[in-house]
Amino acid sequence: MGRVVGIDLGTTNSVIAVMEGGKPMVIANAEGVRTTPSVVGVSKTGERLVGELARRQLVLNPRNTFANIKRFIGRRYDELTDESKRVPYTVRRDPEGNVRIVCPQLSREFAPEEVAAMILRKLAEEASRYLGEPVTGAVITVPAYFNDSQRQATRDAGRIAGLEVKRILNEPTAASLAYGLDRRDNQTILVFDLGGGTFDVSVLEVGNGVFEVKATSGDTQLGGNDFDRRIVDWLAEQFLEAEGIDLRRDRQALQRLIEAAEKAKIELSGVSVTDINLPFITATEDEPKHLETRLTRSEFEALCEDLLERMMRPLRRALKDARLQPQDIDEVVLVGGSTRMPMVQQLVRSLIGREPNQNVNPDEVVAIGAAIQAGILAGEVKDILLLDVTPLSLGLETIGGVMKKLIPRNTAIPVRRSDIFSTAENNQTMVEIHILQGERQLAEGNKSLGRFKLTGIPPAPRGVPQVQVSFDIDANGILQVSALDKTTGREQTVTIQGASTLSQEEVKRMMKDAELYAQQDRQLKARIEKRNRAQTLIAQSERRLREISLDFGLYFAESKRRRIESTIRELKDYLERQDDRGLDLALAELQDALFDLNQETAARLRDEEGEGFFEPLKQTFASLRGDGNRDFERSWDDRGGDRWDADPWDRSRRSTPSYGYDDRRSPVSDPYRGERWVEEQTSMSRREPVRDRNGGNGSVRPEPAPRRGRPTWEEDQPPRRDRSSQPPAKPASGRRWNDGWDDDDDEWF
C-alpha cells in the first residue's frame, strides 16, 4: 500500500509534506528547494516542464508557460475578472462556457484541472523518490472560501494526477493544525492567510487536541499577485508617458515587468527603497529602450490602499460570524508569503491589537497541516479531532427566483439538512432542482452549482405533492443533493460536479492522457540520463588513459587501450546519431574494456610493490627501447646493476645436465659481478682459474669446459663498470700478477 501525503497546491508555489516518525516533514524537490513553483510549460521541443524549469522560460516562451492556474480552476469564463485574464498566455472560452488554456506548441487546449494535475504529479513523484515507495493518496488543501465547484475541480485534478484524494482541507484549518499540534491549552486563533491568488481568514478554537472552526471568510480573487500588478501598471504607465510605448501589449515585456514587480515587492519588505532596472525592455526603429526607475515603500503602499481595504471586510466578517471581539483573539497566525509585507502586518496589528505570531514558516505551514491530516486518516496521529465548516451558504431556487438556504455558512461539516417543498402549478409531474451557493437573497446573484430533475410525480393540485430535498456535505466539503417524492417514494440523487463541467468520461480521458504523457516523460528522462551517463563515462575513460600513460608509459597494455579508444569513438558516433540501441551496446563494451584495463593496472601495481624502487626506472628505459610490454625475468640488483642480462655460462638455463659441483662464481654470489671493468675478450677467451678449495700451495684446478661447446660473445658487448668503493686486492709482493692467461701460450698455468 502506498503512502498518503499532504499537498499545498498554491497559486504561486506548491509544497508537499509527509509524516515521518510521527513528525511532519517537508520534502525538497529535485532542485533541493522545499517549495516548487506552480508553473507548467512546454519547451520548444515539445517537452513538458513543471516547476523551476518551467519558470525559467517564462520570459522567452510566455505563450507556452502557464502560471497562476489556481485562479481559473473550477470557474467559468464569465466569472473571471479582467485582472485575472491579463496573463501572457491565451485564455479562451469553450462552447460550454468553461475556461481553456491554449498551448500553441502542442496545438491543443488544456483544462485548468489538467494543468493543476501536472503540478500534483510532479510533487507526488518527488515524494516517491524521497520515500522509496509509491505515493497513492493525498490530502490537498484549498482556500477556505473555495466554493463547491472549485473543490470538486481540485479533486478532479488529483484524480487526473493518479492520486486518491483522501480529503479536501481548508488552508487556514491546515495551518491551525500545524500551529496547535503540541498545544494543550485552550486558545482562540485567527489565521490570516494571504497567498499568491487567494485570501482567507478563519477563527478557530484549539485545545486538548480539538480544532473547531468557528467562522471563515475570504476573497478568492485577492492575493499577492494583485500587489504585483499594481507595480506592473505603475511601471507601464511611467514608460508610456516617457516613451509612448505600452509594454503591456508585448508578451515578453509584460512577463519581464511581472518578474521585476515581484522582485521589487520582496525587496521592499526589507528596505525602504529599491531600484528597478530593465535594460532592452523593448526597441524602436531607431534604438533599444531601457527602463530605469526607483520605487519607495511609501509609494508602493499608496498604490495598494484599496487592496488593504478589501482585506478588512473578510476579517471583520469572520469575527462577527464567530461572535468575537478583537480582544478575544489569543494568537494571530500569518500564512502565505505575501504576509511578509510590512503593510499587511501593520493592518493585522491595527485591527486585532496584537502582534502576529511569526514562529511558523508561512510558506510551509499549510503543507505541514495537510500532512498531519493525512497522518490522522492513516492512523499515525491520534487524539486529534478536526471540526471544519462550510464557507458559504447552500440552498435552492424557489418561486420568483428567490434562494432558500438549507445550510447557512460556517455550519460544521459533515452535515445533512432537509426541507419539504411542493409544486408551483396544478398537475405538475416534474420538479427541477436548482442548487445554489452564496449569500445573496436572489438566485441570480449566487453561484449556480447545478440542476437536476425529479420526474414521475403523480398529477395533483398545486401545493399538494410533497418533495423532500436533502443537502449532504461530507468532510471534504463536497455536496450531494437528493430529492424524494414522499407520495411515490421515487428518489433522485446527484453529486454536484461543479462549474468545470468535467464529466466522468472527460476525467477518465484526462487520466489516460496524463498517464500517457507521464510515460513519455519517463522515457525521455531515461534517454537524457543515458546520454549523460555516456558522456560521463567517456570523460572518465579519457582521463584514465591519460593517467595510465603518465604512470606506466605509452606501451603499457597497448591492446586494451586501443580497444577503449575505439569504443569511445563508436560511443561518440552513437551520441551524435542518437542511436539508443547502439548507445546501450557501446556503453556496455566501454565499461567492460575499462574494467579489464583497471584489472591489469591493479596487477601491475601489486607487482611494483614487491620489486623495489628501481622498477619504474626499468620500465621507463624499456619503453624507450621499444620493449615496454616484455616481462623481465630478473630484477635489478640492490646496486643498480643490469642483472636481467642472461649469464652465458649459466647451465641452469639450459636443458643439458650440469656437473655435480661447479666452483665457478655465480653472478649472484660474486659481489663485484657487473661492477668492475673487465677487459673485453675474444670468442676463445676463458675465465680466471679457480683456486683449489683445499688451499694447497696455490695450486689451481682448471675449470671444466661445457659439453656442447662454448658460447660466443658479441664483439660489441659493452664493458661492465665497477661502481663499488672497494677495488680488487693487489697480489702479495714477490708474486706475479695473475690475470688468468699466459702471454706466451694458450695454456693454463
Annotated catalytic residues are 8, 70, 171, 193
DSSP 7-57: EE--SSEEEEEEEETTEEEEPP-TTS-SSEE-EEEE-TTS-EEETHHHHTT
The H or E element spanning position 503 is none
Residues 6+ apart with CB under 8 A from 539: none
Q: Hey, what's the torsion of the CAs at 391, 393, 396, 400, to 10 degrees?
A: -130
- Give the whole-angstrom CA distance, residue 90 versus residue 47: 19
Strand pairing class (199-207; 210-219):
antiparallel
Rg, C-alpha atoms of the chain: 45
Q: Which of 655, 673, 651 is nearest to 722 (CA)?
A: 673
Contact 84, 221 (CB under 8 A): yes
Contact 347, 308 (CB under 8 A): yes
In this structure, what DSSP letter does residue 748 have?
-
Indicate the burial class of 423 (C-beta count within 10 angstroms; 0-12, 13-18, 19 or more). Answer: buried
Query: For residue 347, what are the contacts with CB-CB under 8 A and spacing of at least 6?
Result: 308, 311, 312
SS3 238: helix
What is the spatial distance between Cα 682 and Cα 673, in angstroms, rounded to a whole number? 19
Q: What distances in angstroms separate CA 161 from CA 14, 39, 110, 290, 467, one per listed residue?
A: 15, 15, 14, 43, 39
Nearest to 89 by CA among 57, 128, 137: 57
Helix, strand, or coil (residue 615): helix
Whose grid coordinates read 527602463? 291
3-state SS, residue 706: coil
The SS3 assignment for 68 reads: coil
Helix pair 305-321, 224-243: axis angle to 10 deg: 160
* Peptide bond before residue 414 is cis, with ω within 30 degrees of 0: yes
Contact 484, 470 (CB under 8 A): yes
Residues in the chain: 749
Residues in Cβ contact with 527 at an 8 Å cutoff, skipping those fewer than 6 apart: 580
SS3 144: coil
* Amino acid in position 47: E
